[in-house]
């Protein structure tokens, strides 16, 4: 069961978030009178409000909160597991810290602290993914190398849209970034192993990654 903890968390996250979108009453920043959740116009944050944008009571809130909890735990466990695959002590420590701290910050996205938590959790995720990408570039896992770079660029562009206030395109990019990062996390979790991250000592000898 422990081996599949990340997969279980993310699958449950998707299930609960999809349920939340199905019961969302309606309303978006672009059209307060719209019906239901529009994936190209609504933001996930709309699901967490007690009152929907159209003024109706929002039954999606509880489902979205459960989904976000699974999501934050899944990502946290992922970073902690990746730390066990990389031999360099500094990177291992950084990834473990990001995994533990990001569980809290990501879950707080569903609170009134949404804006600041988005910034903090996104920054932590990008730092962790950057560290992993640096080590991944030294491996032979070419598909995952490419996927990491694409995911980083997608994430950076989404944050740029968030900062510039381009809400129309941001709503769509939020979903693309969410899906791409989730697929990447699953790919890294289940298609990498300690041997992929062996490092060379100065004398040319390989240093085996060890569990911590």
pLDDT digits (tens, 9 = 90+) for 56-113: 999 999 999 899 889 989 999 999 999 999 978 899 999 999 998 877 776 676 667 7
pLDDT digits (tens, 9 = 90+) for 157-169: 998 998 888 888 9
In a domain, 13, yes or no: yes
Any bridge partners for residue 199, and if so which?
A: 207
pLDDT digits (tens, 9 = 90+) for 181-200: 999 999 999 999 989 887 53
In a domain, 208, yes or no: no
In a domain, 203, yes or no: no
Range of the domain at 103: 2-194
Both tokens of 176, joined, read 């693309």
| Greater pLDDT, 90 or 210 | 90
Both tokens of 157, joined, read 């562009």
In a domain, 207, yes or no: no
pLDDT at site 199: 58
Q: How many domains does the chain have?
A: 1
In a domain, 185, yes or no: yes
In a domain, 110, yes or no: yes
In a domain, 18, yes or no: yes
Give me the residue label for tokens 């990498």. Answer: 192
Select from 177, 212, 169 the least CA-distant residue to 194.
212
In a domain, 204, yes or no: no
How big is the chain by its Cα radius of gyration, in Å?
A: 19
């Amino acid at each position: 069961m422990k081996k599949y903890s990340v997969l279980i968390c993310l699958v449950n996250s998707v299930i609960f978030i999809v349920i939340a979108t199905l019961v969302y009453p309606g309303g978006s920043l672009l059209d307060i009178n719209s019906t239901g959740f529009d994936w190209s116009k609504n933001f996930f944050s709309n699901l967490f409000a007690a009152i929907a944008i159209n003024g109706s009571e929002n039954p999606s809130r509880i489902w979205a909160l459960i989904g976000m909890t699974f999501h934050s735990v899944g990502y946290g466990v992922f970073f902690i597991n990746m730390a066990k695959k990389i031999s360099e002590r500094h990177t291992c420590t950084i990834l473990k810290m990001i995994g533990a701290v990001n569980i809290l910050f990501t879950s707080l996205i569903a609170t009134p602290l949404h804006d600041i938590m988005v910034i903090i959790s996104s920054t932590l995720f990008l730092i962790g993914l950057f560290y992993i990408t640096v080590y991944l570039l030294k491996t032979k896992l070419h598909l995952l190398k490419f996927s990491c770079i694409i995911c980083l660029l997608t994430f950076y562009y989404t944050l740029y849209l968030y900062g510039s206030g381009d809400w129309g395109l941001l709503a769509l990019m939020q979903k693309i970034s969410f899906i791409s990062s989730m697929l990447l996390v699953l790919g890294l979790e289940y298609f990498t192993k300690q041997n992929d991250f062996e490092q060379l000592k100065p004398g040319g000898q390989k240093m085996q990654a060890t569990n911590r």
